[in-house]
Amino acid sequence: MASKAPKASQKMICKECGDSMNHHADKLVDPITAQEAARMDAAMGGIIEEMHYCAQCGLGDSRRL
């Protein structure tokens, strides 16, 4: 049976120091823009936002899938 979970994305690179960031969490969020709403999964009721943190300098960042 195929999984409906989002595919793993590429590593984020820290904007401060250039090191690879660690993926810590996924969060279901409401779409903000029309583009996000268009790619929203109706079954989930939102889109996934990934949370990442840099082990080198401690910067936190996120991105929406």
Cα–Cα distance, 65 to 60 (Å, whole number): 17
The pLDDT, as a whole number, for residue 41 is 82
The pLDDT, as a whole number, for residue 23 is 93
The pLDDT, as a whole number, for residue 53 is 95
The pLDDT, as a whole number, for residue 8 is 56
Measured CA to CA in angstroms, residue 37 lies from 11, 18, 24, 28, 50 at distances of 24, 31, 24, 13, 17
The two tokens of residue 48 are 């996934």
Residues lower than pLDDT 50 in the chain: 1-5
The two tokens of residue 17 are 């120091």
Cα–Cα distance, 61 to 26 (Å, whole number): 12
**pTM for the model:** 0.72
The two tokens of residue 4 are 């409906």
The pLDDT, as a whole number, for residue 7 is 54
The pLDDT, as a whole number, for residue 1 is 39
